[in-house]
């Protein structure tokens, strides 16, 4: 079982601020995904990273996969209230397991 | 396609009763996953199927939990007998080709409360 640790667990910031959340593991993953979950809904895929060192950008969101494919980060620039939600990382190995998530609140 | 459809959306039952959660995956998807989400433990993988065959049920917490996939368009997760600690949101997800570089599409979940 590959364990994924996400930090911080909770994050509350003001609109316009930048933030970074982390996903770490001692296991190597074939790929890693980031999902966002809103209240009352299931998680929705944001991005998949595959190659060590890979960086992907999705508008104001920047995702990076660690060189050793054991960790990843999500950076949000100029956060907006619409970014509020639970951010989950999921690692693909023998199966797909999720971290506990970072609960982000962006205040207007 | 309407996406992954789960029913019911909410279920309240008394301890000891049997509970059956239902899932209709996206047509054409060959993988189906059942997850349980709680504040304490996050999103836990319970079991997954490939082409209707259970592949890994190591996440199923106890023998009280069972899952079936009689055909490509339907799966059930049954808890018998239910206990208060089973209270959680249960998600079904489906994907095409597993989890390697593919997207898992989640249903809206079933919120189970056992009193």
What confidence tens digit (pLDDT) does each residue in A6-60 have? Answer: 999 999 999 999 999 999 999 898 899 999 999 999 999 999 999 999 999 999 9
Q: How many helices (H) and strands (E) does chain A have?
A: 0, 11
| Dist CA B108 CA B6 (whole Å) | 7
Residue pair B1/B26 in contact by the 8 Å Cβ criterion = yes
Average pLDDT, chain B: 94
Q: How high is the pLDDT of residue A2?
A: 54
Q: What is the DSSP letter of B100?
A: S
Residue B1: what pLDDT?
65
Contact B4 A43 (CB under 8 A): no
Distance of CA A25 to the CA centre of its chain: 13
Strand partners, A30: none
- Which one-letter DSSP state was computed for residue B35? E
- Closest by Cβ to A98, choosing from B43, B108, B109: B43
**In this structure, what DSSP letter does residue B105 have?**
E
Are A52 and A64 in contact by the 8 Å Cβ rule? The answer is no
Q: What is the mean pLDDT of residues A93-97?
A: 78
- Tell me if A42 and B45 make a contact (CB, 8 A cut-off): no
Kindly report, residue by residue over B52-94, the tens digit of the pLDDT: 999 999 999 889 999 999 999 999 999 999 999 999 999 999 9
**Average pLDDT over every residue of B20-25:** 98
**H/E segment holding residue A52:** none
Instruction: For residue B35, give the nearest of B81, B104, B100 by alpha carbon.
Output: B104
Q: Which residues of A touch B42 (CB under 8 A)?
A: 88, 98-101
Distance CA B4, CA B76 (A): 13
Across the interface, do A101 and B100 touch by the CB < 8 Å criterion?
no
């Amino acid at each position: 079982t590959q364990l994924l640790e996400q930090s911080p667990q909770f994050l509350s910031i003001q609109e316009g601020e930048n933030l970074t959340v982390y996903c770490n593991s001692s296991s190597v993953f074939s790929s890693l995904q980031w999902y966002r979950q809103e209240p009352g809904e299931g998680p929705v895929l944001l991005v998949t990273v595959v190659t060590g060192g890979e960086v992907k950008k999705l508008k104001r969101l920047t995702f990076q996969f660690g060189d050793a494919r054991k960790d990843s980060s999500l950076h949000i620039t100029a956060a907006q209230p619409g970014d509020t939600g639970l951010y989950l990382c999921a690692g693909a190995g023998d199966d797909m397991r999720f971290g506990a998530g970072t609960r982000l609140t962006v205040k207007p | 396609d309407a996406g992954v459809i789960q029913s019911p959306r909410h279920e309240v039952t008394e301890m000891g009763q049997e509970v059956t959660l239902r899932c209709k995956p996206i047509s054409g998807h060959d993988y189906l996953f059942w997850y349980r989400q709680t504040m304490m433990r996050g999103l836990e993988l319970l079991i997954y199927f490939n082409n209707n065959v259970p592949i890994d049920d190591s996440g199923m917490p106890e023998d009280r939990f069972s899952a079936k996939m009689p055909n490509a368009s339907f799966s059930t997760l049954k808890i018998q007998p239910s206990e208060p600690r089973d209270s959680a949101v249960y998600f079904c997800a489906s994907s095409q080709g597993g989890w390697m570089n593919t997207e898992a599409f989640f249903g809206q979940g079933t919120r189970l409360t056992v009193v």
